[in-house]
A and B are shown apart, each in its own frame.
Chain A
Amino acid sequence: MSLLEVQDLSISFGARRVVDRVSFSIAPGEKLALVGESGSGKTVTALSTLRLFDAARLEGSIRFQGREVLAMTPAELQALRGNDIAVIFQEPMTALNPVMTIGAQIMEALMLHKGLGRGEARAQAILALKRVEVAEPARRVDSYPHQLSGGQRQRAMIAMALACDPKLLIADEPTTALDESIRFQILELLDQIRVERGLAVLMITHDLNLVRRFAGRVAVMEHGVLVEQGPMAQVLEAPRHPYTRKLMDSRCVREVGPAGEGCVLAGRAVGVTYPVHRPGIVGWFRRGAFTAVHGADFTLAAGETLGVIGESGSGKTSLALALLDLAPASGTVEVEGRSWAGLTGEQKRGLRRHIQVVFQDPFSSLSPRLTIEQIVGEGLTIHEPGLDRAGRRVRILEALADVGLAEDGSAEGLLGRYPHEFSGGQRQRVAIARALIVKPRIVVLDEPTSSLDVTIQKQVLQLLAELQRRHRLSYVLVTHDIDVVRAMAHRVMVMKDGRVVREGPVDQVLSDRLWQELGQA
């Protein structure tokens, strides 16, 4: 008999139906991955088994151990939540209460569901932390969430979820917020616990690498509809539904041309230091310093892509901002042979034309209250003030067509629209058009694809490669994603703790398994 049986489940928010007649089941001890892009309804589906959305209207049937969840009273639901079905969330920093120690948070669940006393609950909490392999559990039980690293926080979350011995664990993108090297450790931990306790795991993810590593069965969702499900090998190796095939096909392909000659960008001993607050009375008078980047040296040729790769906090974004003169930097950064240092405001403005930037999140990088015409045309008003309205419009249309936003040959209809009317991929294209309209030689790409869905990622990378060939652009590609670097970069710089630990041609650097070594460190 299956543990959880979902039949013809439809979920609506107001008039909008986000999930349409989805059916699946999970047996005890089974692992099922629910795969889909953002907005496909996978998270809503999974969390609705606990009826966690008050505003949602649920139709169909959700049976847990033969009992109908949709017919449960609030008291029964409360007994179900946490006790029989537990959830771990994507971002442990926000899912844990920052003002309670993790021990107190684990104990809360134990005292509520198991009726344990304080002392007993504390002992159980330490045991729970030990089971998820948190080092020094007896000490860590009194730590606050911010005192733990990302991986440890996620372990603490898992300990909290498992404290009451649930039968089903819902893991909502449990590793997305974690660094590459820690992801698989967490997965292994989950799998180990699953085997030990006969726990069923419902994993929600968009990451196919993860699915390959973890799942037993896979269910694929698109636009609220479950399009395909079956054993992992079958779905991934012989996908039947076109959407699944598209998902499988979305791994990045290398399409870059050869790098050119000449140096367009050079950095010598580039360092970035931020002032930080010092505790105590000393902090009133003197600021401490946090060095995000320690003296990086590099050069970039025309038409070349330099990949800067590192984990979060490794200083790669600070370095990117220093290149753009948007962060206080020491050392010299020379754009087209001219250094930022010592330039007047007007001269800097002229130099900015040659180095542009595309940011990670196209939702925050476009002013929400400006039209596409205003956003893309802004660079022209600054750098080519002589251009009249009509001339500017021609250039804007060209730039939009350049990034593939011209529907039926012209982007005319897009000009008066606002960013929120576009999808993430389209917005990222707008952001690229904004950068390219001033005809820069260098573009800094700060995680250009990591907030996009996998199928869109590939398109954007293809576009970037094509633009590079067409305009002889040089890219500085900042990312944590090895696949992206492999597909785009000519040379790679690996950063760790603010230092460049490795530099060289892409094949050489990525083949020497440095990445795994970094994970161990």
Chain B
Amino acid sequence: MTSSLQNPWHRAWRRFQGNRLGYRSLQLFLALSILSLFAELLSNDKPLLARYRGHWYVPLVQTLPETTFGGDFPTPTEYLDPFIRDQFAKPGNFILFPPNRYHHSTINYFSTVPDPAPPSRQNWLGTDDRGRDLLARLLYGFRLSVLFALAVTVVSTAAGIIYGAVQGYFAGWTDISMERVVEIWGAMPMLYLLIIFSALFAPSVWLLVTLISIFGWMGVAAYVRAEFLKNRTLDYVRAAKALGQRDRVIIFRHVLPNCLTPVITLIPFEMAAAVGALTSLDFLGLGVPEGTPSLGELLAQGKNNLDAWWISLATFVVLVVMLVLLILVGDALRDALDPRKAVTEDPS
């Protein structure tokens, strides 16, 4: 038996891998997230590569005026313009588009049906009510949701761990006074504050990350506090104190690793909650700035255009898949980190 397998985290990871559903969900979620990070390569109105009269261009990263390709105006090239496409259709010229030829902000001016347009060969999932490609909106919206959830989770988990650790480790008056702060903070009506803040400040994603994080750390802090309160009286902490170890080292090196189980279990659920929070704020129009691709905004469009079933249906499916995957991962993590299961598998 190699020692790396005996590391408690490794063993938990193996148990997690043993849970097929959860492990596959994690793989799928990671694959989708990584794929969405390259959204510019997958769904864009700028070609990846172009050849015009013997010159190679990379329009994806270059801003080329229309005059480059025989147009009349020095404005950036509109590659979906039939004129430009005709230019490239001439022999010797070549153009390579991403699989989906629309950026999230591209408006399909050349559509033959009124917006919102139903799914067609041009717009595979149709367009929204401003003529933007739905697939592109969903892809970029998914990316934004994942990154947003990740940022919120990282910030609020880190804050929660530090707050809870200080509370639980020092206990006594430190704990009591910090707990009162949590109670007051927790009693604040979060939604109203968000509305007030969104009225005061220009809306931005970072403002939202900050706002949701400063209300999201309390759950983690409560768990970490409880674990620290339990662990601080154990003999291994006393032994470290008797050795003269510093409090900071005891907290992070000795106690914290033994308190992470609930924190890690909570992470997927926190992410799911952050996705839900962002979506609902966007749905209410209190979220990201106008024009940002967001699932909540699409849901609002779906509500306003009930006959455009493709908007609500596609957004709904994306949201459900994302949340279900996260929750399945969380479920499997909880099982993998369950101390009782760990005990029954002990070789002793």
A contacts, CB < 8 Å to B:
13-14, 321, 324, 326, 348-350, 352-353, 355-357, 359-361, 364-371, 378-379, 382-383, 416-418, 420-421, 423, 431, 434-435, 438
Contacts and interface: CB of A to CB of B under 8 A. Distances in A.
- Considering the complex of A and B, which 5 residue pairs feature the smallest CB-CB distances, nearest first? A365-B235, A352-B244, A416-B3, A349-B244, A359-B235
Contact of B236 (A14, A366, A383, A423): A366
Interface centre among A348, A364, A370, A383 (most CB of B within 10 A): A364
Interface in B248-275: 253-254, 257-258
Given A367-B254, A417-B3, A13 B235 contact: no
30 contacts: A13-B344, A14-B344, A324-B238, A326-B238, A326-B242, A352-B243, A353-B244, A355-B242, A357-B238, A357-B239, A357-B242, A359-B239, A364-B234, A364-B235, A365-B238, A367-B253, A367-B257, A367-B258, A369-B8, A378-B240, A378-B243, A378-B245, A382-B245, A417-B3, A418-B7, A418-B8, A420-B6, A420-B346, A435-B239, A438-B243
Contacts of A367: 236, 240, 253-254, 257-258
Interface string B281-297: 00000000000000000
B235 A361 contact: yes
Contacts of A418: 3, 6-8
B1 to A, nearest CB: 8
Contacts of B235: 359-361, 364-365
Interface in B224-250: 234-236, 238-245
A365 B254 CA distance: 11
Interface of B: 3, 6-9, 234-236, 238-245, 253-254, 257-258, 344, 346-348
A378 B257 CA distance: 16
B230 to A, nearest CB: 11
Given A417-B6, A418-B8, A421-B6, A365 B239 contact: yes
Nearest to A323: B242
B126 to A, nearest CB: 52
Contacts of A364: 234-236
A431 B236 CA distance: 9
A511 to B, nearest CB: 34
A382 B239 contact: no
B236 A326 contact: no
A435 B240 CA distance: 10
Nearest to A369: B257
B131 to A, nearest CB: 56
A368 B245 CA distance: 17
B344 to A, nearest CB: 7
Contact of A356 (B243, B253, B258): B243
A350 B235 CA distance: 21
A473 to B, nearest CB: 15
Contacts of A434: 239, 243
Contacts of A356: 242-243
A361 B235 CA distance: 8
A475 B12 CA distance: 40
A350 B254 CA distance: 21
Nearest to A359: B235
The winner among A349, A371, A420, A435 for most chain B CB atoms within 10 A is A420
Contacts of A357: 238-239, 242
B244 A326 contact: no
Given A364-B236, A365-B235, A383 B244 contact: yes
Nearest to A362: B235
A361 B8 CA distance: 20
A124 B206 CA distance: 71
A431 B348 contact: no
Contact of A369 (B3, B245, B258, B347): B258
A469 to B, nearest CB: 24
In the complex, which of the residues A324, A367, A420, A421 has the most CB atoms of chain B within 10 Å of its own CB atom? A367
B243 A420 contact: no
B172 to A, nearest CB: 9
B8 A365 contact: no
A438 B235 CA distance: 18
A353 B3 CA distance: 31
A417 B235 CA distance: 20
Nearest to A422: B348
Contacts of A353: 244
A352 B257 contact: no
A359 B242 CA distance: 11
Nearest to A434: B239
A379 B243 contact: yes
Nearest to A419: B236
Nearest to B237: A367
B238 A382 contact: no
A13 B341 CA distance: 13
A418 B5 CA distance: 10
Nearest to B238: A326
A22 B191 CA distance: 65
Interface centre among A324, A353, A378 (most CB of B within 10 A): A378
A324 B243 CA distance: 10
Contacts of A417: 3, 6
A179 to B, nearest CB: 22
A435 B9 CA distance: 27
Contacts of A383: 243-244
A483 to B, nearest CB: 23
A438 B245 CA distance: 13
Contacts of B254: 367, 370
A39 to B, nearest CB: 8
Nearest to B245: A382
Given A324-B241, A364-B235, A367-B254, 6 more contacts: A367-B236, A369-B257, A382-B243, A382-B245, A383-B243, A423-B348
A284 to B, nearest CB: 12
Contacts of B234: 364-365
A393 to B, nearest CB: 15
A338 B244 CA distance: 16
Contacts of A349: 244
Contacts of B8: 368-369, 418, 420
A378 B242 CA distance: 11
A368 B235 CA distance: 12
Contacts of B244: 348-350, 352-353, 382-383
A14 B343 CA distance: 13
Nearest to A13: B344
A382 B243 CA distance: 8
A457 B18 CA distance: 40
A406 to B, nearest CB: 17
B325 to A, nearest CB: 29
